[in-house]
Amino acid sequence: MQALSIDAALLRSSRDGRLRGFVHSVFERVINVEREDGELFTIASRDLDNAPATLIADAAGFATTGIARGDRVDAVQSGIAIAGRLDIRLDEASAWDARLPGYPADDSRLRENLRKVRARIGPRAIGGGPPRGAAPSAIARVMAATLERRARMLRAALCAGDVAAAGLHGKAMMGLGPGLTPSGDDFLVGLLATLHVPQNPCRELAGVCDDILVDVARRTNAISAAALQAAARGRVREAIQVLMRELMHGTPNRLTAALSRVLAIGSTSGTDIVAGMLCGFEVAVGRRSGARYPAGRDKS
C-alpha cells in the first residue's frame, strides 16, 4: 500500500527508524499506533484530511486487513510494516506542514467572519447538542449547560489575562461531554491552537496550555490526549488549519466551505472545535482593540 501524504515530523521519525510500537486501536478508516515512547500516530484512509502525527494511506479503509490491537509496528526501509499483514510505502508520499497561518495586521475581516460563524452555530454551541437525528436527553442538557458555564469562565479569565484561573477552568472541561473525543476536549483543541497563531495579540496567554494539560493522560482518553497535546503546540488537522486561515483572511464563499468541512467532523466534534476557535479569536480581537471583553459578547 502506498502512502499519499504524511506529517513532515512523522516522516522524519520514520526515516530515523523511530516509528516502532504496537497497534493501539483499529477503526474502519483509522489505525492508531502507540509508539515505544508512549506517543500515538495515526494511519488514516484517503478520504480523511492531513493531521499531526498522521499518515494518509491510499486505502478506502482497513476493515479487511486483519490488523488487531497489539500487532507489532516497525519502521522498515520502504516505510512501515504492521505484523506481516500490511506494508505501507513512503517513497512517494508528500510531506504535509502543520504550520498555522499568521494573524492579520488588519483584523477587520476576521471580526466580520467571526460574526458570521457565531450567527451560524449559535451562542451556546459547545456540547454540540445530541447526535444528528436524536433528541437531547436530560443528561445531555445538563452536560451542555455545564460545559457552557465552564467555557464562559475560561473565556472571561483569558480576557482578563488571568492565566492561572484560565488553567483551572480549562482543566475542569477536560474529559467532559459525549464522543470518542469529548466535547470539552474538542473545545480546548480549537482554543489552544488559536492561542498559537503567529502574531496573535494574545499569544502571551499560550502559557495556559501547559497548565490545562497537567495530568492530561489521566483526565481523558489517549486519542483525545494526543489531539490536545498537538494543539498545545499549534498543530491541528488540515481542515481546522484551513478554517483558521479563512476566518482571518477568507472571502464569504471560502469561509462557508471551510466551516462546513469542520462542522462535519464527528457527531459533535466539529461544532465544539469551532466554538473553541471562536472563543480564542474573540479574545484576540478584544485584546487588539484594547477591550477587556470582545464587542457584542455577554459579560456575565
Question: pLDDT for 139-180, tens place per residue?
Answer: 777 888 899 999 999 999 999 999 999 999 999 999 998 778
The reported pLDDT for the residue numbered 136 is 65
Query: According to the model, what pLDDT value does residue 289 have?
Result: 73
Domain that holds residue 264: 108-289
**What mean pLDDT, rounded, does the chain reach?**
89
Question: What tens digit of pLDDT does each residue of 214-273 get?
Answer: 989 899 999 999 999 999 999 999 999 999 999 999 999 999 999 999 999 988 899 999
12/63 same-domain check = yes
Number of domains within the chain: 2
Amino acid at 55: L
Which of these, 213, 148, 224, lies nearest to 179 by C-alpha position? 224
Same domain, 119 and 56: no
> For cell 459579560, what's the residue?
299
- Domain end position, chosen among 96, 124, 140: 96
Q: Please indicate, yes or no, whether residues 164 and 235 belong to a single structural domain of this protein.
A: yes
On the 0-12 / 13-18 / 19+ scale of CB atoms within 10 A, 36 is exposed
Looking at the structure, tell me whether residues 92 and 112 fall in a common domain: no
Q: Other CB atoms closer than 10 Å to residue 256's CB: what's the count?
A: 15
Same domain for 67 and 162? no
Q: Which of 96, 121, 142 is the last residue of a domain?
A: 96
Task: Identify whether 68 is part of a domain.
Answer: yes
**Boundary of a domain, candidates 96, 130, 156:** 96
> Same domain for 19 and 91?
yes
Are 172 and 239 contained in the same domain? yes
Task: Note the pTM of the prediction, 2 decimals.
Answer: 0.88
Nearby residues of 242 by Cβ (< 8 Å), 6 or more positions away: 258, 261
Query: 101 lies in a domain?
Result: no
274, 117 contact by CB (below 8 A): yes
